[in-house]
Amino acid sequence: TYVVTDNCIRCKYMDCVEVCPVDCFYEGENMLVINPNECIDCGVCEPECPAEAILPDTENGLEKWLELNTKYSAEWPNITVKGEAPADADAMSGVENKLEQFFS
Ligand code: SF4
Ligand code: F3S
Protein backbone atom coordinates (compact mmCIF):
# COMPACT_ATOMS: atom_id res chain seq x y z
CA THR A 1 0.00 0.00 0.00
CA TYR A 2 0.90 3.64 -0.25
CA VAL A 3 0.61 5.94 2.73
CA VAL A 4 0.36 9.70 3.29
CA THR A 5 3.18 11.02 5.47
CA ASP A 6 4.35 14.10 7.39
CA ASN A 7 4.59 16.71 4.67
CA CYS A 8 0.90 16.49 3.80
CA ILE A 9 0.07 18.11 7.14
CA ARG A 10 -1.07 21.70 6.50
CA CYS A 11 -0.07 21.43 2.83
CA LYS A 12 -3.05 19.31 1.85
CA TYR A 13 -2.89 20.04 -1.86
CA MET A 14 -5.41 17.30 -2.67
CA ASP A 15 -4.11 16.59 -6.19
CA CYS A 16 -3.92 12.99 -5.04
CA VAL A 17 -7.67 12.46 -4.74
CA GLU A 18 -8.30 13.27 -8.38
CA VAL A 19 -6.15 10.45 -9.71
CA CYS A 20 -6.92 7.56 -7.36
CA PRO A 21 -8.84 4.89 -9.32
CA VAL A 22 -10.41 3.41 -6.19
CA ASP A 23 -11.16 6.65 -4.29
CA CYS A 24 -9.40 5.57 -1.13
CA PHE A 25 -8.44 8.96 0.31
CA TYR A 26 -9.98 10.21 3.57
CA GLU A 27 -9.99 13.78 4.81
CA GLY A 28 -8.97 15.20 8.15
CA GLU A 29 -8.73 18.87 9.01
CA ASN A 30 -5.01 19.20 8.26
CA MET A 31 -4.16 16.21 6.10
CA LEU A 32 -5.48 13.32 4.06
CA VAL A 33 -4.83 9.63 4.61
CA ILE A 34 -5.08 6.53 2.44
CA ASN A 35 -7.11 3.49 3.46
CA PRO A 36 -4.47 0.73 3.18
CA ASN A 37 -7.17 -1.91 2.82
CA GLU A 38 -8.59 -0.22 -0.26
CA CYS A 39 -5.39 0.98 -1.94
CA ILE A 40 -4.52 -1.24 -4.90
CA ASP A 41 -0.89 -0.12 -4.97
CA CYS A 42 -1.12 1.43 -8.42
CA GLY A 43 1.33 4.20 -7.50
CA VAL A 44 -0.43 6.83 -9.59
CA CYS A 45 -0.85 9.27 -6.71
CA GLU A 46 2.80 9.35 -5.64
CA PRO A 47 4.13 11.70 -8.36
CA GLU A 48 1.00 13.86 -8.23
CA CYS A 49 1.65 15.14 -4.72
CA PRO A 50 3.46 18.52 -4.86
CA ALA A 51 4.61 17.97 -1.27
CA GLU A 52 6.02 14.51 -2.01
CA ALA A 53 4.09 13.24 0.96
CA ILE A 54 2.91 9.96 -0.54
CA LEU A 55 5.22 6.97 -0.23
CA PRO A 56 5.04 3.19 -0.57
CA ASP A 57 4.94 1.63 2.90
CA THR A 58 7.79 -0.64 1.86
CA GLU A 59 10.17 2.25 2.54
CA ASN A 60 11.97 2.08 5.86
CA GLY A 61 10.52 3.69 8.94
CA LEU A 62 6.98 4.19 7.75
CA GLU A 63 5.28 1.91 10.27
CA LYS A 64 3.87 4.80 12.26
CA TRP A 65 2.42 6.31 9.09
CA LEU A 66 0.83 3.03 8.09
CA GLU A 67 -0.75 2.91 11.52
CA LEU A 68 -1.93 6.51 11.30
CA ASN A 69 -3.38 6.03 7.80
CA THR A 70 -5.17 2.87 8.91
CA LYS A 71 -6.61 4.47 12.03
CA TYR A 72 -7.85 7.71 10.53
CA SER A 73 -9.14 6.32 7.25
CA ALA A 74 -11.62 4.40 9.40
CA GLU A 75 -12.76 7.60 11.13
CA TRP A 76 -12.57 10.41 8.57
CA PRO A 77 -14.91 10.97 5.59
CA ASN A 78 -14.01 9.85 2.09
CA ILE A 79 -12.83 12.57 -0.31
CA THR A 80 -12.93 12.28 -4.09
CA VAL A 81 -13.01 15.89 -5.25
CA LYS A 82 -10.10 18.27 -4.90
CA GLY A 83 -10.79 21.27 -2.67
CA GLU A 84 -8.75 24.38 -2.02
CA ALA A 85 -5.38 23.95 -0.37
CA PRO A 86 -4.61 26.08 2.71
CA ALA A 87 -3.44 29.62 1.82
CA ASP A 88 -0.05 28.99 3.43
CA ALA A 89 0.42 25.52 1.93
CA ASP A 90 3.58 26.44 0.02
CA ALA A 91 5.13 28.04 3.12
CA MET A 92 4.33 24.93 5.14
CA SER A 93 5.95 22.53 2.70
CA GLY A 94 9.16 21.08 4.05
CA VAL A 95 8.61 22.21 7.64
CA GLU A 96 9.94 19.46 9.88
CA ASN A 97 8.15 17.33 12.44
CA LYS A 98 4.70 18.47 11.46
CA LEU A 99 3.08 15.51 13.14
CA GLU A 100 4.31 16.62 16.55
CA GLN A 101 3.72 20.31 15.88
CA PHE A 102 0.46 20.53 13.98
CA PHE A 103 -1.45 17.28 13.96
CA SER A 104 -4.77 17.48 15.66
FE1 SF4 B 1 -5.06 5.29 -4.89
FE2 SF4 B 1 -3.20 4.08 -6.37
FE3 SF4 B 1 -2.51 5.98 -4.64
FE4 SF4 B 1 -3.32 3.61 -3.73
S5 SF4 B 1 -1.46 4.00 -4.92
S6 SF4 B 1 -3.96 5.60 -2.96
S7 SF4 B 1 -4.88 3.08 -5.28
S8 SF4 B 1 -3.77 6.25 -6.47
FE1 F3S C 1 -1.55 15.73 0.90
FE2 F3S C 1 -0.12 15.59 -1.27
FE3 F3S C 1 -2.56 14.77 -1.32
S4 F3S C 1 -0.10 17.24 0.20
S5 F3S C 1 -3.57 16.06 0.15
S6 F3S C 1 -0.96 13.89 -0.11
S7 F3S C 1 -1.53 15.87 -2.92
Q: Is residue 103 part of a domain?
A: no
Q: How far is CA 71 from the centre of its chain?
A: 13
With b for 16 or more beta-carbon neighbours within 10 A and e for fewer, the 9-40 pattern comes to bbbbbbebbeebeeebbbbbebbbbbbbeebe
Q: Is residue 13 part of a domain?
A: yes
14: containing domain:
2-81
Q: Whose CA is nearest to atom 1 of ligand 1?
A: 20
Statement: residue 104 has pLDDT above 80: no
pLDDT digit string (tens) for 5-38?
A: 999 999 999 999 999 999 999 999 999 999 999 9
Q: Is residue 70 part of a domain?
A: yes
Contact call for residues 78 and 23 (beta carbons, < 8 A)? yes
Give the dihedral sign, CA 64/42/31/33.
negative
CATH code of the domain covering residue 25 = 3.30.70.20
Mean pLDDT (the chain) is: 97
Number of domains in the chain: 1
Q: Is residue 61 part of a domain?
A: yes
Q: Is residue 14 part of a domain?
A: yes
Q: Is residue 91 part of a domain?
A: no
ipTM comes to 0.98
**Which residue of 2, 6, 15 sits with most ligand 2 atoms within 8 Å of its CB, as the best mutation to test the pocket?**
15
Ligand number nearest to the C-alpha of 82: 2
Q: Is residue 24 part of a domain?
A: yes
pLDDT digit string (tens) for 54-102?
A: 999 999 999 999 999 999 999 999 999 999 999 999 999 999 999 999 9
Q: Is residue 39 part of a domain?
A: yes
